[in-house]
Structure 1
Amino acid sequence: MKSLSQQNYIPQVSIDCVIFGYSEQQLQVLIPKINFKGDFWALPSGFVFQDEDMDNAAQRILRERTGIESIYLEQFKVFGRANRSSKAFLDKLIQQNFDKLGEKSASHATEYDWFTKRFLSVGYYALVDMNKVVPQKTDLDESIEWYGIHDLPQMIMDHEEIINEALKTLQSHIDEKINAFNLLPDTFTMKEVQDVYEAISGKSFVRTNFQKMILSLDVLERLEKKFTGAANKAPYLYRFRKD
């Protein structure tokens, strides 16, 4: 495998992906733990080839981490502060893993210089049905797991800020883009829709008012009732109208 500096990447441009799922009435975020000693958690990230569109690069990174092809994706912000650097994180990782990394060779020095330059990072958020995702580790990962939005591990660099910005953007998008349904299975109840909206917004809604609001959007198709053994009280199932 070629080193990062030898591959045909655009220099000093990266992509950081916030992959949102939903379960147990809260948003979840898919986060890998880096395969070195120490507490190093980072967003699924990658670089952009010279001949690759930015959105295609993000789709590639997401596909490698989730195992699914069709993913709802939004670019939301570029992170480019002048002091944005991975040097402090990488120095700490090297210090804690000197026995594994060994002496700094000339090739190591080249990679270190390449990786610790200031990078402009393009942030994307993705919305997925967790039931369809099979989290995929890369060679750099010790593990990759879902974490509740309120129970995140300590992230490297500015990755916690990136998650917070992704959440703020998603909160502003749920009415404008009507995209929260991408977190649900193909069919769902109205209560499940309300639970997702409440998890994203952090607010509670009156059931009758919420149902009227959602139905007024005219984006749902009502199906048969959900089988519960009590037909009269069973809720209707809905699906998002694709046309």
Structure 2
Amino acid sequence: MIKKVDDSKNKLSLSELIDTTGFVEHVSVDCIIFGFNKNELKVLLLKYHELERWSVPGGFVFKNESLDDAAARTLYERTHLENLFLQQFYTFGDVERTDQNNPHRELLKSRNISVDANHWIYQRFISTAYFALIDFTISHTFPDTFNETCAWFSVDELPKMAFDHDVVIKKGLDFLRKNLDYNIVGSNLLPEKFTMKELQTLYETILDEKFRRNNFQRKILSLNILQRLEKLYTGSANKAPYLYKFLNK
């Protein structure tokens, strides 16, 4: 579990952020936050001030902190989400990635902040990406210097993205799909107690694939990740489905 972040630690204005020598130059972290709502997989995005571009939560790494701590800190500063299980899944280092839809020049210009053309903020960044699966209802907005809006978007209908963050999201989704059996156990995409049908719907939504009920149930039960609980009585007693919970929760 990522540790709780101090709300007042390392808070900087935009000018201080650009001028500081406290960051590891050319290194950043990005956080892909997935949520599930109304049978739709969504991703949490942030909108830049004055610009019609969106990004995943992320930021720079202080010289005195680890990548894990940087990911937890920047996520909290930008969304107020904390104590999430953030899993590192990929490092992005394409030579041209910083030149793609880079909003920094426009953002600084709109604030009348001038920096040297060779400043590190304009140069290539190596970004380590994390992802988390959370309860859709627990997110809160917390705009900071860079961002004014925090909102959920369907992974299939992304807005205009900054940098290469559409690629980052796609890579995160690919990783989730390939490792769903492992990641689903520690996620908060479902309530604590759920039916097999609800779990199947979640799998089908994330994988964009339909399953036969019996085959899906056989596969899931073979993973030994579920505990069967009482029945859910909402109608006919003989049709009441069993409730389940993940064994490690």
TM-score normalised to structure 1 length: 0.86
State the identity as a percent.
39
Indicate conservation of the 8 Å contact 1:72/1:182, yes or no: no
1:101 and 2:111 aligned: yes
Indicate conservation of the 8 Å contact 1:17/1:58, yes or no: yes
What letter is aligned with 1:42? S
Partner of 1:232, secondary structure, is helix
Query: Which residue in the other structure is 2:53 paired with?
Result: 40
Bigger CA drift: 146-155 or 129-138? 129-138
Q: CA deviation at 1:181?
A: 4.3
1:197 and 2:197 aligned: no
The equivalences for 1:16-31 within 5 A come to: 16-31=30-45
Partner of 1:153, secondary structure, is coil
Q: Deviations over 1:131-158 (max 9, x none)?
A: 2222332232221100011111011121
Structure 1: tracts of 5 or more residues without a match: none
What letter is aligned with 2:58? S
Q: Deviations over 1:85-117 (max 9, x none)?
A: 2586237725xx85x423x5xxx2159823101
Partner of 1:60, secondary structure, is helix
Indicate conservation of the 8 Å contact 2:195/2:243, yes or no: yes
What letter is aligned with 1:101? R
The equivalences for 1:155-194 within 5 A come to: 155-179=161-185, 181-194=187-200
Query: Which residue in the other structure is 2:22 paired with?
Result: 8
Bigger CA drift: 192-201 or 4-13? 4-13
Bigger CA drift: 142-151 or 232-241? 232-241
1:76 and 2:86 aligned: no
Query: Which residue in the other structure is 2:120 paired with?
Result: 114
Partner of 1:196, secondary structure, is helix
Runs of 4+ in 1 over 6 A off after TM superposition: none
Bigger CA drift: 136-145 or 176-185? 176-185
User: 1:132 and 1:194 mapped to 2: Cα distance?
Assistant: 23
More helix by share: 1
